[in-house]
């Protein structure tokens, strides 16, 4: 079955950097587009970034554009999110999720990022 496992979360100071990873299994990772979604404490769900199946197309939410970079290593079945210039408002649980035109979305369990001094 589809499994997505996020890692790399933690506590970082404002202005710092963090790299999140998402290990995928149970499907042919190289043929699926992928997303990052986040949820700030007590808030709703917010889409963050998208990458096409082959890495050729990327989209970002305005709130993270220029600071976050999504990448996809199809040889290692891994999705990553490089987060630079972190702000307190980036504090959230970050989820990776699989997109598809023929199957429903699948989500991981999330990793918590806390930006605090």
Partner 1 sequence: DIQMTQSPSTLSASVGDRLTITCRASQSISSWLAWYQQKPGKAPKLLISKASSLESGVPSRFSGSGSGTEFTLTISSLQPDDFATYYCQQYNPYSPPWTFGQGTKVEIK
Which parts of this chain interact with partner 1 (CB under 8 A)?
33, 35, 37, 44-47, 50, 52, 57, 59, 61, 95, 99-101, 104-110
Nearer to partner 1, 37 or 79 (CB): 37
The least CB distance from residue 117 to partner 1, in Å, is: 25
Which residue in 4, 1, 2, 8 sits closest to 93, CA to CA?
Answer: 8
End-to-end Cα spacing for the chain: 40
Nearer to partner 1, 29 or 108 (CB): 108
Nearer to partner 1, 27 or 107 (CB): 107
Residue 102 is classified by DSSP as: S
Strands (E), 1-110: 3-7, 10-12, 18-25, 34-39, 45-51, 58-60, 68-73, 78-83, 92-98, 106-107
CA atoms of 81 and 37, how far apart (whole Å): 11
The least CB distance from residue 30 to partner 1, in Å, is: 16
The least CB distance from residue 12 to partner 1, in Å, is: 21
Nearer to partner 1, 17 or 25 (CB): 25
């Amino acid at each position: 079955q589809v499994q997505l496992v996020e890692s790399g979360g933690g506590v970082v100071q404002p202005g710092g950097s963090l790299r999140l990873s998402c290990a995928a299994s149970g499907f042919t990772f190289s043929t699926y587009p992928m997303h990052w979604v986040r949820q700030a404490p007590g808030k709703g769900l917010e889409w963050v970034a998208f990458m096409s199946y082959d890495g050729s197309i990327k989209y970002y939410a305005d709130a993270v554009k220029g600071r976050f970079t999504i990448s996809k290593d199809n040889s290692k079945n891994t999705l990553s999110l490089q987060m630079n210039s972190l702000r307190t408002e980036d504090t959230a649980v970050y989820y990776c999720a699989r997109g598809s035109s023929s199957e429903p979305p699948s989500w991981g369990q999330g990793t918590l990022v806390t930006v605090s001094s």
